[in-house]
């Protein structure tokens, strides 16, 4: 029977069907209302696709694949193109492994699929393409506007499925994850909105001005270290790891983010690793999960309710708890007890400030330690040259502790010391509140020399210092 024509009077979308290993002319679309009456015959040696036009049905004999295009008609002069009745017509990819290209756009395409099936949909402007709810079906959703058969280019929407979903994205696209793993190739596109589902989320090669939110329970990997990336807002997910990056490597946390210049990164409810080593001007806010930040140049980090460790960094500003490089400004948090440790190799020459909550700070060589509104415990280890401790801004009782460790003595200058509230601490040179080291008064200042080699100069104080072990 001849193909149904008259398609020019029907305003629906135009779909072209393709199959791996077959040219377009070797793909034979056969329309049927119910699967019983075929409007054209199958062709031996061709890739035959059964297209239901009234109600979707089971795949018939002699067919390689099936689809449902509500009210569909054959496009005159073609073997593989169908026009839907209206833009509101239901359009579904059913059984089999094949590709559909929407030539016109503005429609909703649902991938139903089959167990073990593989579906590819190439969209046009205004399309919404949804992945299969069958976990054994994989899907590639192409929103990239790079296919030559796509003439109506523009932003689209993709929704992941229960199986593995790959999305090729473009500027302005909106992409949401499903229950299965999703990989989004950003193609250096801008102003996209990508939101993870419950499945794992992998996103890489972003442009600028994008918003990305991690998986709610799976792992999340977001790579924004490509040339042309940066200036994006990226949120961590709810997973706790381990995860897999885009190159097949593993990470212990639930989220790993490789930052681009001037990214704004927000922690989630799961654990997170932020790698900003190759970036500058990155802003990181911790979430309620444990966060590790590898700082770059001028990284700004604010701790959340979860623990925070900060590594490396140059000229950075950090609020939370850390392991440091040099040239950073670190401020304690607002609640709980923060711990700032700058005694690691590579640290030193940082400004470490207590927070409004209690803060314990272990100083490094060349550090300036300052009290905050909360109680400060400043620890001076041996082997770090010189350090400065300023307690003048503190609003509570503070302690400055001598800590014996490997190496020569450390010379610490202490200003703002209050004899009414503050105390000098040492496990080796204080017995029953009495200092057992050497104490001298020089030019209106008290110089304390400890047997481990440390020395503290208490500026402007000549008597009344309290000691404890």
pLDDT in tens, 397-441: 999 999 998 888 999 999 999 999 999 999 999 999 999 999 999
Mean pLDDT of 97-121: 95
Highest mean pLDDT among 116-120, 288-292, 354-358, 446-450: 446-450
Given a cut of 50, whether residue 3 has pLDDT beyond it is no
Q: Which residue has the higher pLDDT, 40 or 323?
A: 40
pLDDT category of residue 322 using cuts at 50, 70 and 90: low
3-state secondary structure of 407: coil
Query: Strand pairing partners for 438?
Result: 449
> Averaged over 275-291, what is the pLDDT?
94
Sort strands 264-266 and 283-285 into parallel, antiparallel or unpaired: parallel
Give me the mean pLDDT over the 215-222 stretch: 98
Band of residue 221 on the pLDDT scale cut at 50, 70, 90: very high
pLDDT of 120 > 90? The answer is yes
Q: How far apart are CA 422 and CA 394, in angstroms?
A: 10
What is residue 357's predicted lDDT score, i.e. its pLDDT? 80
- The mean predicted confidence, pLDDT, of the chain is 92
Mean pLDDT of 165-188: 98
| Lowest model confidence (mean pLDDT) among 136-145, 261-270, 299-308 | 299-308
Range 409-420 burial, b when 16+ CB lie within 10 A, else e: bbbbbbbbbbee
Q: Which residue has the higher pLDDT, 264 or 302?
A: 264
The CA-to-CA distance between both ends of the chain, in Å, stands at: 100
Whether residue 10 is predicted with pLDDT greater than 50 in this model: the reply is: no
Mean pLDDT of all residues in 379-392: 95
Residue 406 and residue 94: Cα distance in Å, rounded?
Answer: 70
Domain boundaries, the chain: 1-168
What's the pLDDT score for residue 304? Answer: 84
């Amino acid at each position: 029977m001849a193909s149904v024509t008259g398609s020019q009077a029907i305003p629906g979308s135009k779909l072209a069907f393709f199959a791996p290993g077959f040219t377009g002319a070797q793909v034979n679309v056969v329309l049927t209302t119910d699967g019983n009456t075929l409007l054209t015959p199958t062709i031996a040696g061709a890739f035959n696709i059964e297209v239901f036009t009234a109600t979707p049905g089971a795949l018939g004999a002699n067919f390689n694949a099936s689809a449902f295009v509500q009210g569909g008609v054959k496009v005159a002069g073609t073997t593989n193109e169908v026009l839907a009745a209206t833009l509101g017509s239901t359009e579904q990819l059913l059984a089999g492994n094949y590709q559909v290209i929407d030539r016109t756009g503005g429609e909703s395409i649902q991938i139903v699929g089959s167990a073990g099936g593989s579906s590819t949909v190439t969209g046009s402007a205004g399309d919404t393409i949804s992945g299969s709810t069958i976990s054994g079906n994989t899907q590639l959703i192409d929103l990239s506007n790079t296919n030559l058969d796509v003439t109506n280019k523009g932003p689209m929407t993709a929704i992941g499925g229960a199986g593995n979903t790959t999305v090729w994205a473009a500027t302005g696209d909106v992409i949401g994850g499903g229950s299965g793993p999703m990989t989004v190739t950003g193609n250096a596109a801008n102003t996209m909105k990508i939101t993870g589902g419950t499945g794992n989320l992998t996103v890489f090669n972003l442009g600028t001005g994008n918003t990305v939110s991690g998986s709610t329970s799976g792992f999340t990997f977001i790579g924004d270290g490509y040339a042309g990336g940066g200036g994006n807002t990226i949120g961590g997910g709810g997973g706790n790891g381990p995860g897999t990056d885009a190159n097949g490597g593993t990470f212990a946390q639930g989220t790993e983010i490789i930052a681009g210049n001037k990214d704004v990164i927000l922690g989630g409810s799961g654990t997170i690793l932020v790698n900003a080593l190759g970036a500058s001007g990155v802003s990181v806010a911790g979430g309620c999960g444990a966060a590790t930040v590898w700082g770059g140049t001028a990284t700004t980090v604010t701790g959340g309710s979860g623990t925070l460790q900060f590594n490396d960094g140059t000229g950075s500003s950090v609020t939370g708890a850390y392991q440091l490089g040099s040239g950073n400004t670190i401020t304690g948090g607002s609640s709980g007890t923060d711990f700032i440790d700058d005694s690691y190799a590579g640290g030193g020459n940082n400004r470490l400030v207590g927070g409004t909550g209690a803060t314990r700070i272990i100083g490094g060589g060349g550090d300036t330690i300052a009290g905050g509104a909360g109680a400060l415990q400043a620890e001076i280890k041996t082997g770090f040259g010189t350090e400065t401790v300023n307690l003048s801004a503190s609003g509570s009782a503070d302690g400055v502790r001598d800590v014996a460790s490997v190496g020569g003595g450390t010379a610490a200058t202490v200003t703002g010391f209050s004899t009414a509230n503050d105390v000098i601490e040492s496990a080796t040179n204080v017995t029953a509140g009495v200092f057992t080291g050497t104490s001298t008064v020089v030019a209106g200042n008290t110089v304390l020399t400890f047997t481990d080699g440390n020395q503290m100069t208490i500026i402007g104080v000549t008597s009344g210092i309290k000691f404890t072990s």
